[in-house]
Structure 1
Amino acid sequence: MPVTPLLSATPQLTDSLTLWLLIGATVLLVSVAAVRLANRSGLPTLLIYLAIGLALGESGAGIKFDNSAIAQVLGYSALVLILAEGGLTTSWPSIKQSVAPAAVLSTLGVVVSVAVVAVAAHTLLDDLSWTVALLLGAIVSSTDAAAVFSVLRVVPLPRRLSGVLEAESGFNDAPVVLLVVALAERSSPHGSNHSWWFVGVEAVAELVGGALIGVALGFLLGRVLRWSAAGSSGLFSIAVVGVTVLAYAVADFAHTSGFIAVYVCALVLGNQHLPHRSAVRGFGQALGWLAQIGLFVMLGLLASPERLGDQIVPAIVVGLVLLLVARPLSVVASMAWFKVPWREQAFLSWAGLRGAVPVVLATVPLTLDTPDTDWLFDLVFVLVIIFTIVQAPTLPWITKKLGITEPAHAVDLDIEATPLEELGAEVVQVTVGEESRLHGVEIFELRLPPGANVTLVVREGEGFVPTSSTVLRRGDALLVVATEPVRRQTIRRIRDISREGRLAGWRTTSEDSPGD
């Protein structure tokens, strides 16, 4: 009996699988190891991952990948997981007072940025039509959550400021994607030619519809998951992420924004106090990292180093307009409604890092056959690399110069421990900054609420269990265990003393925020 071609090809398929697994595992391990290098240098990991992709590409190891349609599909899939991770790991109390400013910055701010970049591109770049100039402005107007927070994790910002950046990075992908697709379709030979008012109304309807679908599925399926919680934290984590992906699919089928749906759904799920919360957050973060690595490496493969050199000067021109004019104007136009201090507006202007989202969106005109846009991907790729190198390392210095650092930085920690979950307890890490008035305060003077206690102090690399008379010093790292009902009160109490000293509480402070 003759052997079928499929069976005869099995050894070759197995060999190919082994080779790709070897390459994939090596890239993954190198990418994970690169995180430490990125943290020390202050640069986002995206630059290292893009470099890995370029090294593996046609000008390096010789792997050829030039299918923009596949790149767009994989890019969208990765963005779904990245947005899901962002929503699952975002604390609603920490951003709720920043939602309105972030929403305005993600809509009105985007419109201002697109208009400014389009005018500059049409004026400064030769023979660039208004439609393509607007398309370029839309592509580069979205900030990137992965790029922003890989840097800001180590910058102790006030909650209201980090909340604006966090919410903006989750919100602005959806309107920018809608705008880019509308502009690309309008310019393509077979695209629709609706009037601008119709496109605007349609975009608002899609955003509102997607948000409503995300909220509905998050609340309803969150209750179902809580009622039918599996004993395995791993299975439960898969189910939670599955709900967020379902939100994207349902919203997209309903012709609404899937990206806003997945983020809002994940945000609702992440703040419902579901079982196995630490495992869910850990699983979401793992998927988010895997999506980031795969996305950036793929985009590096798609780029051609031979073509990038021609776009350096145009990328610098567009990037300078974006950084020094468009982004500041969009921040001023958006934040003026909320009386945000000028120092915080200055930081928001500089902290608008670009990352994978603009590069992925640059593939949209290619897949829709939009004329005269073959160069857009190369320009956006170069712009992201150059201005990430310029902006990212300077963010800690900018925060200090503007005087907007938080003197005592408190963050929630995910501790994978069933007893803590059963007791309703949480662990908070507090870092005593250089200007914090916690310096010199004894533990008993913190006057933490019942149910909270400082359990460990790490000083100059040495850890010890403090007593009530232990004196805190600059640079100390504290672990505070608190029950869920008093966690926010505990954090607020520590911040009050950090700002005002041991006598804090004898008078109310104007800077207190119920969202802390």
Structure 2
Amino acid sequence: MSGDIDLALLLGAAVVLVAVAAVRISTRFGFPSLLIYLGIGLLIGEDGLGIRFDDAELTRVLGFCALIVIIAEGGLTARVSTLRPVLGLAALLSTVGVAVSIVTVGVVVHLLLGLDWRLALLYGAVLSSTDAAAVFATLRRLRLPPRLVATLEAESGMNDAPVVLVVVLLSTTGFGAHPWWYELPIIGYELVAGAAIGYAVGVSGRWLLRHAALPSAGLYPIAAVALTVLAYAAGAVAHASGFLAVYVAGVLLGNARLPHRQAILGFADGLAWTAQIGLFVLLGLLAAPDRLPGAIDEALVAGLALVLLARPLSVVVSALPYALVRPLRERIRLGWREQTFLSWAGLRGAVPIVLATIPLSESVPGARRLFDVVFVLVVIFTLVQGGTLAPLARRLGVVAGAEPTELSVETAPLDRMAADLLTLSIPPGSRLRGVHVDELRLPVGASVTLVVRDGAGFVPAPDTRLRSGDSLLIVATAEVRGVAERRLRAVSRRGRLARWFNEYGADGGAPDHR
């Protein structure tokens, strides 16, 4: 027994270390790390090192646990300032867009593959959810406008909730006993109640963490993550959407001025990486390599229907109010370039494979084939889409010139002073090149404290001229952080003459009053 445990620990540690090294490889070469994790699972499986694993029910349970952690981390790191303007669009993509995608894929696979309607709609439902882990890991490496990134991240954090409800409904033995519209009020209740429970847990947890005065700094990250798990459990007990409750609670906690906030975010990030690694390796173990080649044809049909038809159609339908209603149109610019990128960036990853274990554990006819098709589809289209996102963003012109990002380090003194630490890199061709530090016109409470140039750092003077390749370290109080970020974006778009072009940094063109 002791020898078996030692061997399991040795193999587990080796898998984790290889997976951590794979992150650096994927970052350097743009190769999606999730495919490496799936490959590790296949390698150590029955046809590789001989580890036999075929428990679909256990995979579903552990997969849901991993998704809770991944979605919680996405909520904790989302900023309300960028999330609020896109919340309506993300909600439409997560509900109306999901419905359009389910129906479109279902009709196509029913007609072309000859599947019965229940199984065809299961294909559509399983494939309609974008994957939070894939989206978060891929988009954060790209230089994109914050609201475009926020839309995709919020959608991936929110659309798991309605999709899980639909997949469970289609997988139960009682499916078909009622008209399709009979379940709509139930789904509506679960979404509304899930959001309300997440809000209640987030607000209560925010107050508790501020006033708890815990004896150790290490307890705050544990408590914050436990609160998001509590939100899921409370939602599940109330027959509401636990995943939506997790995301809402995470957003509220992540945007609060909590003690040791950076430690909380760092802890959640580490847990999310661990969950991703474990989840993808587990899904690779569950797959049977000898059956996968036979699923390629069906995977290509379903994948092309999803990527070329269902996803673009769901984006167009969801974005329609932002094209027809003037106040919404002025709030978010959604031209054909942005819609094209949103369509192509709807990445699939572990979530569809986890969802495919639901009908598999319920012994739905054709579920094993569905799992194999979804597995192959995720591998093929993640490789294609993930590798082409950066070139497509440049081709469409949706690449941001220079954007300030939060520096995720432990900064307890800054927490006590209610301040944030930001970094800003100046890429070649940025309008920030040649601008003097005092021409940034940062608000009172924000200051460029360090410039790193050619590997050396120095404290800038007001007349220091910025160059391509410079990295700036900026300290800003919580009250003026948003104004400082908007001003830096404005100068990155218009240069030192931003104010002459009536460019004040706000997307709507309104001036920053300072």
The answer to whether TM tops 0.5 is: yes
Structure 1 Cα separation of the partners of residues 295 and 166 of structure 2? 24
Among 262, 281, 301, the residue aligned to 1:278:
262
Are 2:153 and 1:175 equivalent residues in the alignment? no
Among 181, 202, 223, the residue aligned to 1:239:
223
Among 55, 80, 97, the residue aligned to 1:67:
55
Q: Which residue number corresponds to residue 328 of structure 2?
A: none
Letter in 1 for 2:4: S
Letter in 2 for 1:117: V
Are 2:421 and 1:437 equivalent residues in the alignment? no
Q: Secondary structure at the match of 1:24?
A: helix
Letter in 1 for 2:475: V
Q: Which residue number corresponds to residue 16 of structure 2?
A: 28
Among 375, 379, 382, the residue aligned to 1:385:
379
Deviations 1:99-138 (A, max 9, x none): 000000011001111111111101111x310111001010
Structure 1 Cα separation of the partners of residues 420 and 187 of structure 2? 41
| Higher mean displacement: 55-64 or 365-374 | 365-374
| Higher mean displacement: 393-402 or 369-378 | 369-378
Structure 1 Cα separation of the partners of residues 178 and 226 of structure 2? 35
What's the CA shift for 1:373?
2.0
What's the CA shift for 1:274?
1.2
| Higher mean displacement: 97-106 or 423-432 | 423-432
Structure 2 Cα separation of the partners of residues 255 and 33 of structure 1? 40
Structure 1 Cα separation of the partners of residues 452 and 49 of structure 2? 46
| Higher mean displacement: 59-68 or 417-426 | 417-426
| Higher mean displacement: 69-78 or 495-504 | 495-504
Q: Which residue number corresponds to residue 306 of structure 1?
A: 290
Kept after mapping to 1: 8 A contact 2:221/2:263: yes
Are 2:451 and 1:451 equivalent residues in the alignment? no
Q: Secondary structure at the match of 1:469?
A: coil
Structure 2 Cα separation of the partners of residues 511 and 115 of structure 1? 40
Are 2:106 and 1:118 equivalent residues in the alignment? yes
Q: Secondary structure at the match of 1:426?
A: strand
Among 202, 205, 228, the residue aligned to 2:186:
202
Among 88, 91, 108, the residue aligned to 2:96:
108
| Higher mean displacement: 352-361 or 427-436 | 427-436
Q: Which residue number corresponds to residue 4 of structure 1?
A: none
Structure 1 Cα separation of the partners of residues 141 and 232 of structure 2? 31
What's the CA shift for 1:204?
1.0
What's the CA shift for 1:511?
6.6
Q: Which residue number corresponds to residue 411 of structure 1?
A: 405
Identify if the C-alpha distance between structure 1 residues 285 and 376 changes in structure 2 by more than 3 Å, giving closer, same or farther. same
Structure 1 Cα separation of the partners of residues 457 and 386 of structure 2? 32
Structure 2 Cα separation of the partners of residues 39 and 321 of structure 1? 29
| Higher mean displacement: 443-452 or 360-369 | 443-452
Identify if the C-alpha distance between structure 1 residues 483 and 264 changes in structure 2 by more than 3 Å, giving closer, same or farther. same
Letter in 2 for 1:138: A
Structure 1 Cα separation of the partners of residues 457 and 258 of structure 2? 32
Structure 1 Cα separation of the partners of residues 489 and 501 of structure 2? 14
Structure 1 Cα separation of the partners of residues 420 and 504 of structure 2? 27
TM-score by length of 2: 0.94
Kept after mapping to 2: 8 A contact 1:426/1:484: yes
Q: Secondary structure at the match of 1:38?
A: helix
Deviations 1:424-482 (A, max 9, x none): 22111112233321111111211212222212222343433322222112232211111
Are 2:148 and 1:154 equivalent residues in the alignment? no
Kept after mapping to 2: 8 A contact 1:409/1:433: no
Among 159, 164, 184, the residue aligned to 2:151:
164
Kept after mapping to 2: 8 A contact 1:233/1:280: no
Kept after mapping to 2: 8 A contact 1:43/1:151: no
Structure 1 Cα separation of the partners of residues 185 and 144 of structure 2? 36
Kept after mapping to 2: 8 A contact 1:52/1:297: yes
Q: Secondary structure at the match of 1:472?
A: coil
Q: Which residue number corresponds to residue 506 of structure 2?
A: 512
Structure 1 Cα separation of the partners of residues 485 and 256 of structure 2? 20
Kept after mapping to 1: 8 A contact 2:420/2:476: yes
Are 2:352 and 1:358 equivalent residues in the alignment? yes
Among 433, 448, 457, the residue aligned to 1:463:
457
Q: Secondary structure at the match of 1:23?
A: helix
What's the CA shift for 1:147?
0.7
Aligned residues: percent identity?
Answer: 53
The 5 Å alignment of 1:77-96 reads: 77-96=65-84
Q: Which residue number corresponds to residue 251 of structure 1?
A: 235
Q: Which residue number corresponds to residue 394 of structure 1?
A: 388
Letter in 2 for 1:173: D
Letter in 2 for 1:361: L
Structure 1 Cα separation of the partners of residues 310 and 176 of structure 2? 29
Q: Which residue number corresponds to residue 497 of structure 1?
A: 491
Structure 2 Cα separation of the partners of residues 148 and 257 of structure 1? 21
What's the CA shift for 1:412?
1.0
Kept after mapping to 2: 8 A contact 1:41/1:393: no
| Higher mean displacement: 503-512 or 253-262 | 503-512
Q: Secondary structure at the match of 1:480?
A: strand
Q: Which residue number corresponds to residue 130 of structure 1?
A: 117
Kept after mapping to 1: 8 A contact 2:171/2:362: yes
Q: Which residue number corresponds to residue 45 of structure 1?
A: 33
Among 137, 143, 146, the residue aligned to 2:130:
143
Letter in 2 for 1:461: G
Kept after mapping to 2: 8 A contact 1:95/1:159: no
* Aligned residues between the structures: 500
Letter in 1 for 2:155: E
Kept after mapping to 2: 8 A contact 1:218/1:266: yes
What's the CA shift for 1:508?
3.2
Are 2:209 and 1:225 equivalent residues in the alignment? yes
Kept after mapping to 2: 8 A contact 1:413/1:428: yes
Letter in 2 for 1:415: V
The 5 Å alignment of 1:314-353 reads: 314-339=298-323, 340-353=334-347
Letter in 2 for 1:260: L
Structure 1 Cα separation of the partners of residues 337 and 455 of structure 2? 34
Among 236, 243, 250, the residue aligned to 1:266:
250
Q: Which residue number corresponds to residue 8 of structure 1?
A: none
Q: Secondary structure at the match of 1:155?
A: coil
